[in-house]
Copies of this chain bind each other. A is one copy, B any other.
Amino acid sequence: MSPPANLRADARRNRARVLEAAEAVFAAKGTGASTEEVAKAAGVGVGTVFRHFPTKQSLLEAVFLEHLRAVGDQGRALSESRPPGEAFYDFFTLVVNQASTKNALADALESTGVDPMATASDSAHQLGVLFEQMLRDGQRAGAVRDDIGVAEIKTLLIGLARAAESPVADPEAGSGALSVVLDGLRPHATARAEGERPKR
């Protein structure tokens, strides 16, 4: 999408370098890292970075999209190679384990007043659809409880991903937390049926 065609060889090379460097730098130092740092890491001048991504925001977006695309690919692969229940749970796990960076990016975008999901509509939407499908399949196969939808799944994913990236949380606890959630997603855990559900 963004990568405009007909670029000169060096331009294309530099664009790729910048993207890669940006991903690394943002992952390491947070999205607050300066454009100059990215430029240095990519071995180019700031001018070049801004030519390819006229705004810091657009750079963040590009990195974000890249992530979404990669995650989507992995999901599709999973759903083709495994039975529905497993595919769903594995994908869920995988997304959690990878998503920390993505969340930071989404935050950064959002704080500049852009809706990251709107910006990323194509990939994000595709990802949503993919999730919906895997969820439905999992539910039809009786591996996932029926009373939840994609929205809840997304919320849980975001939450776990954020928790994982949080310096406050014990990294050891991540897998325990994940398994609590996975258990909560299984159908027989319908304990919450009658009235005693916490008020909220």
Which residues from chain A sit less than 8 Å from chain B, CB to CB? 30, 32, 89-90, 92-93, 97, 103, 106-107, 110-111, 115-117, 147-149, 151-152, 154-156, 158-164, 166-170, 172-186, 188-192, 197-200
**Residues in B neighbouring A110, C-beta threshold 8 A:** 167-168
For the complex of A and B, the 8 pairs showing the least CB-CB separation, nearest first, are: A184-B184, A159-B163, A159-B159, A162-B162, A151-B173, A180-B184, A152-B176, A151-B170
Q: Given the interface contacts A106-B168, A159-B163, does A183 sit within 8 Å of B177 by beta carbon?
A: no
The reply to whether B156 and A163 form a contact with Cβ atoms under 8 Å apart is: yes
Rounded to whole angstroms, the CA-CA distance of A161 and B106 in the bound complex is 16
- Among B90, B149, B180, the residue within 8 A (CB) of A152 is B180
Nearest B residue (CB) for A96: B200
- So how many copies of this chain end up in the complex? 2
Q: Can you list 26 residue pairs at the A/B interface with Cβ under 8 Å?
A: A30-B111, A32-B111, A93-B198, A115-B167, A117-B168, A147-B176, A149-B176, A151-B172, A152-B176, A152-B177, A152-B180, A154-B173, A155-B163, A155-B169, A155-B170, A155-B174, A158-B168, A159-B162, A159-B163, A179-B184, A179-B192, A179-B198, A182-B198, A183-B192, A184-B189, A189-B191
Which of A90, A115, A189, A199 has the most B CB atoms < 10 Å from its CB? A189
The reply to whether A180 and B181 form a contact with Cβ atoms under 8 Å apart is: yes
**Residues in B neighbouring A198, C-beta threshold 8 A:** 89-90, 92-93, 178-179, 182
Rounded to whole angstroms, the CA-CA distance of A168 and B156 in the bound complex is 12
**Residues in B neighbouring A173, C-beta threshold 8 A:** 149, 151-152, 154-155
The reply to whether A155 and B176 form a contact with Cβ atoms under 8 Å apart is: yes
